Structure 1
Amino acid sequence: MKAQSGCWTCKKRKIGCDRTIPNCNNCSRTSRQCLGYGLRLTWPGCRNRHGRGQDALTYEPPSSHTTLKRHHGRQFISFGEMDILASKGHAFGLDLWEKYLVERPQFTLSLHSPIVGQDAILLDYYESVISTMVSTTSARNGFSNEMLPMALSCRDASALALSNAMLAISAYHHLGPESAARYKLDAVSRLSESLSGHDSLTYSHVSDVQLAACLMLAMYSVFDKNDGSWHIHLHGSSGLVQMSAGCQHRTPSTFLLTWLLYYQVLGNFAHPSHISSYDVGAVCIQGSKLEDDYIIGHLGCSVEILEIIHEINGLRSRTSRSADHQSLQPGIESRIWLDGRLQALNQRLHPDENLCTTPAERCRTLITAELYRLATILYLQRVCPMEGDHARRVGYLDQAFYAYAKLESVSSPWPLFVVACESRKDEQRMIILEILDEMDRARSIGNISDMRKAIEMYWKQCDLRVDMDQTRQLEWWRFVDCGITVPWFV
């Protein structure tokens, strides 16, 4: 067997090579070291005295070190940008290393968790199914990354309340309402015990766990449409945030604040009469330590979108109480300002998502966030109408249905509800009904069926009024403030 080209020793000598493997006969006959036939590296710009590129230096382990030879080349240490910046004393690199070395998770999982049997199965179901169902992102999913450590870090009353609330949701979705009942009752009992205790101010993390338990019980009410205690838990969560607002060292986590913001804003959308004088939404927006245009998984959109929906809710409440034309002028100015923000808004993924998710997952997240933006524009147009809205509305609806056609599954109910209420064509309504059927099959959450009933009720009223005065638009948001105990599009 011959090599395809001559050995490097013969090439240096500029003589013919017989290409014998492993060593050529020329080198053997003249007692020279045969440098072999493989590729050799040269460093650009490095020239010897003859003007030719020099060979790269290589390390050959001593032949006597058999262990070193056996493992040579199997392990590597790679250098990255952060290493280079840190070696040069660059502030950015040093900041990264300081953050990497100093930061520690607030909660750690118990090494000897007492959760076994059915509880362990349900906890695994929560992590693998529930937490992925209620978030549009993977890398920064607080329902698994933050809630599980909180629930398992200790076994005090607040942590037990949180873990039982999580188990209740898993049991309801996996086994049915009968299996979930005892977990839900245990969660409420443990939460009441923790709130009535005197150690709430002793540990800085207890208020976070209590707030998480309240919000998790509110989420249970979303799954179980017959529960009826959503507003009770939301009110309790708001109270805890209000209490912590006056304490310098007890600011709730960003994840909990944005979760409460989501419930608060959509709760006010459904029930504007429940808007309190203490604006928890504003507190949550100010307290969330995030850039406004990052897409948050448990929101499905950016914080700025929820902030704008919050503003529209307030605008809707004010305009509904205004009777004279002069008092409507500030509403028109707000409409122009909010519309400009929505047109300029560019929602983006957090860098962690770009590193840890597939292109298909990133595409789904971006499309969902865009649907929130389009639905918010449609909501703003209806709350404060202006001339030319109809033509623009048709264009936004076309964009929304084009986006829905790209999604294999739909996870966010609120944009779908708004788009459905603006749909007038039969083919559009058929698409909406098909999406609702798929959501019901995939998610099995009780609020989907209620949302479908409200949408169909609104469609029927619109069709019955088709010959009436078109200037008297039927306000579709009135169909969500009809005594239902939970906003079923959260």
Structure 2
Amino acid sequence: MARARKQVTRSFSACWTCRRRRVKCNGVGPPCTPCRKHKVECEGYGIELVWVDPKTGTYPPFCRRSMDFEHTWRGQPVLNEKRLQRLIDEVDDIDAASLEPSPSFSPFTAFSACPSDIRAEADDPTTDKSSSSMSSGAMESRPSTPPPARSSCSPLSEDFNFVARSLTPTIIDRLSASRDETMIFHHYVTWVAPLMIPVDGAQNPWKSVYPSTALRDSSAASRALYHAILAQSAFNMANLHKDNRASSRRKESVALRHYGASLRELSQSLNIAREEEYDACAATLYTLMISEGNARGSVAWRNHFDGVGGFVTHFVRQKPWNRSAQSWVISQSLALSFEISQTGNTKAHGRSPITDILLDGVASRENFGYTIGASCDVLRTISSIRLLAERLALGDVPDDLGILIQTYLAELSPRNHSSIDVDLDIPDRDLFLESLSEMKLLGFLDSLHLRLFRTAALIYLHQAVLRVPPRGVRNLVRSVLTDAMTFMQRRGGSISLWPVFIAATEATEKEDQAIVEQWLAISSQIGMRNRLIAGEIIHHIWLERTQEAIARGLSSDLIIKDWKAVQQRLGVDLLLL
């Protein structure tokens, strides 16, 4: 008589190490009890997703964790019945041959784009716009890792679609040659790119201009940008998988490999420095800078700005940023990043080729600053305040100091706040926003972000020039943090770092600090390490201010703390983007 086979109850809550060792895990930790007992590394319980072979339906063992329905689709747009049925009908009509790469398929995501379907739906008055909103919602509703990849249609700009259609099959094949690279590139467009701009939409250059420039041709400059994009995306994935150290290290290793490849290609391209490769080189320098400061949290990101100055100077006569809309949007990203990041520089920097040449060259357009969510006049004022603060720090006091300060106060006055058809200070804001259509909501949020940037610039003026203690800017701090929380509840964690950080460093009220903690909790889940560094600096400022207030017998809101000095003591250099 055959011995009855022992029944084994399998669990999906075990850590990765115990699953590979095929031992029982108590689900505590990491580290769990069995891993701690046997002195092995506990790889934790983080979610790991891999690509399934489309032909066999198989995937490597122990590489895919189950995720319940609620967490898988949380924060994703809900499709109404009409659109869902249309997508099902289209899938039924697709044969295997039509799934081969072709110029009509968007090369910027792992799946096909259906702009015609989106436009048809947008023009259909019977479509329920609220149920198919592309708004990401509050960051609390997003999973800590991106949801599993799935076929979907995304609204794309006309320029984006034109570039996608014009790419040759050879270039698309280059992207499709590696499944891992395709996945990383897809993560960049669908997760990283929307976080790079406060209000995501058709004008988001990180979903169109940067990918299309990277895939434009096989030149060294385009290859450099391609690898830089993959590096930024892989670093972000490593940060999202930080709870699983083994997975995080693998992603970081991939990122470093592409980072090195980008530097090699960029070095080759800069030796030639042709005008037609300006876009790709400038975009690569920006992306590498973001990868260092935003994704890795490294202090080396300023080295790339040193290279940008010389690079911009080389093109003074040609002024390629005036050549096309793509050149302009890449150039304005460099100019914006430089001016904002220099506010955190502990050393006097003064004017540079980026300020003298690039900023003046690209700031004339009306929509300058849209990628960071600030207006042109506010950004110019922030730059002027920084230069004035550096002069004062060196003992150079201008004769017209009072007039300059009055000019800044007038430029940043609330009467200059951009507005729309509705009042930004409406009493029941949450209830009001629920009643707005998607288009009006985006307009409201655009104006809200412009205002919080302007208000933060006022705080910066009081910090850097007037040396006013937190008590003097209490109302301004409350305004920025309240606007920021409203924005994040509607659009997630893509809010610009600079205005919220500037306000947070002056927060002394318990209520204001609670809002800052909410912001930090949300921002820590999007895979951007500079948000974690920002939190570290803010908490040290609060601690030092409290300790000094106790020692001097004063209220904490009378203690002035220079956040740049605190940053220097911590040995970090925060990229404020």
TM-score for both structures, normalised by structure 2? 0.59
Query: In the aligned structure 2, how far is the partner of 1:242 from the partner of 1:380?
Result: 30
In the TM superposition, what are the counterparts of 1:38-53 in structure 2 within 5 Å? none
Query: In the aligned structure 1, how far is the partner of 2:231 from the partner of 2:530?
Result: 17
Find out whether 1:188 has 2:272 as its counterpart: no
Find out whether 1:341 has 2:403 as its counterpart: no
Give the deviation of 1:142 after TM superposition: 1.3
**Structure 2 counterpart of 1:171:** 234
Give the deviation of 1:357 after TM superposition: 6.0
Q: Secondary structure at 2:412's aligned position in 1?
A: helix
The letter of the residue matching 1:342 is L
In structure 1, the gaps of 5 or more residues are 1-77, 79-99, 350-355
Larger radius of gyration: 1
1:248–1:212 distance in 2 versus 1, CA, 3 Å:
closer
Query: In the aligned structure 1, how far is the partner of 2:499 from the partner of 2:185?
Result: 30
Give the deviation of 1:373 after TM superposition: 0.8
In structure 2, the gaps of 5 or more residues are 1-122, 124-157, 239-250, 421-436
Q: Is residue 346–residue 565 contact of structure 2 (8 Å, CA) maintained in 1?
A: no
Q: Secondary structure at 2:217's aligned position in 1?
A: coil
The letter of the residue matching 1:235 is D
In the TM superposition, what are the counterparts of 1:19-418 in structure 2 within 5 Å? 108-112=166-170, 113=172, 114-116=174-176, 117-137=179-199, 138-175=201-238, 176-196=251-271, 198=272, 200-201=273-274, 204-247=275-318, 251=322, 253-273=327-347, 275=349, 277-288=351-362, 290-292=364-366, 294=367, 296-322=369-395, 327=397, 329-343=399-413, 344-347=415-418, 358-385=439-466, 393-407=473-487, 408=489, 409-410=492-493, 411-418=495-502
Q: Is residue 335–residue 355 contact of structure 2 (8 Å, CA) maintained in 1?
A: yes
Query: In the aligned structure 2, how far is the partner of 1:485 from the partner of 1:284?
Result: 27
Q: Secondary structure at 2:168's aligned position in 1?
A: coil
**Structure 2 counterpart of 1:11:** none
Give the deviation of 1:362 after TM superposition: 3.1
Query: In the aligned structure 2, how far is the partner of 1:254 from the partner of 1:145?
Result: 14
1:405–1:208 distance in 2 versus 1, CA, 3 Å:
closer
Q: Is residue 454–residue 480 contact of structure 1 (8 Å, CA) maintained in 2?
A: yes
1:288–1:168 distance in 2 versus 1, CA, 3 Å:
same
461-470 vs 303-312, which moves further: 461-470
Q: Aligned Cα RMSD in Å?
A: 3.2
461-470 vs 114-123, which moves further: 461-470
1:309–1:277 distance in 2 versus 1, CA, 3 Å:
closer
**Structure 2 counterpart of 1:88:** none
Query: In the aligned structure 1, how far is the partner of 2:363 from the partner of 2:357?
Result: 12
1:143–1:421 distance in 2 versus 1, CA, 3 Å:
same
Q: Is residue 151–residue 159 contact of structure 1 (8 Å, CA) maintained in 2?
A: yes
**Structure 2 counterpart of 1:84:** none
Give the deviation of 1:155 after TM superposition: 0.9
Query: In the aligned structure 2, how far is the partner of 1:263 from the partner of 1:249?
Result: 19
Give the deviation of 1:319 after TM superposition: 1.3
1:454–1:439 distance in 2 versus 1, CA, 3 Å:
same
In the TM superposition, what are the counterparts of 1:435-454 in structure 2 within 5 Å? 435-441=519-525, 443-454=526-537
Q: Secondary structure at 1:153's aligned position in 2?
A: coil
Query: In the aligned structure 1, how far is the partner of 2:165 from the partner of 2:363?
Result: 19
Query: In the aligned structure 2, how far is the partner of 1:342 from the partner of 1:271?
Result: 23
1:207–1:274 distance in 2 versus 1, CA, 3 Å:
farther
Q: Is residue 271–residue 481 contact of structure 1 (8 Å, CA) maintained in 2?
A: no
209-218 vs 399-408, which moves further: 399-408
1:296–1:395 distance in 2 versus 1, CA, 3 Å:
same
Give the deviation of 1:277 after TM superposition: 4.9
Query: In the aligned structure 1, how far is the partner of 2:307 from the partner of 2:164?
Result: 23
Q: Deviations over 1:134-185 (max 9, x none)?
A: 1123121111221111111101111000010001111122253122111111
Q: Is residue 321–residue 362 contact of structure 2 (8 Å, CA) maintained in 1?
A: no
Query: In the aligned structure 2, how far is the partner of 1:258 from the partner of 1:247?
Result: 16
Query: In the aligned structure 1, how far is the partner of 2:186 from the partner of 2:218?
Result: 18
1:274–1:109 distance in 2 versus 1, CA, 3 Å:
farther
Query: In the aligned structure 1, how far is the partner of 2:261 from the partner of 2:485?
Result: 43
Query: In the aligned structure 2, how far is the partner of 1:333 from the partner of 1:418?
Result: 24
**Structure 1 counterpart of 2:85:** none
The letter of the residue matching 1:381 is H
Give the deviation of 1:419 after TM superposition: 1.0
Query: In the aligned structure 1, how far is the partner of 2:234 from the partner of 2:307?
Result: 24
Give the deviation of 1:390 after TM superposition: 7.2
Q: Is residue 158–residue 209 contact of structure 1 (8 Å, CA) maintained in 2?
A: yes
Query: In the aligned structure 2, how far is the partner of 1:400 from the partner of 1:318?
Result: 28
Query: In the aligned structure 1, how far is the partner of 2:165 from the partner of 2:276?
Result: 9
The letter of the residue matching 1:215 is Y
Query: In the aligned structure 1, how far is the partner of 2:503 from the partner of 2:350?
Result: 28
1:188–1:348 distance in 2 versus 1, CA, 3 Å:
farther
Q: Is residue 342–residue 373 contact of structure 1 (8 Å, CA) maintained in 2?
A: yes
Give the deviation of 1:124 after TM superposition: 1.7
The letter of the residue matching 1:220 is S
1:247–1:488 distance in 2 versus 1, CA, 3 Å:
closer
The letter of the residue matching 1:262 is L
Give the deviation of 1:107 after TM superposition: 11
1:232–1:401 distance in 2 versus 1, CA, 3 Å:
closer
Q: Deviations over 1:183-233 (max 9, x none)?
A: 11111111111122x4x33xx321221111111111111233354431121
Which has the higher relative contact order, 1 or 2, with Cα contacts under 8 A spaced 6 or more apart? 2
1:479–1:305 distance in 2 versus 1, CA, 3 Å:
farther
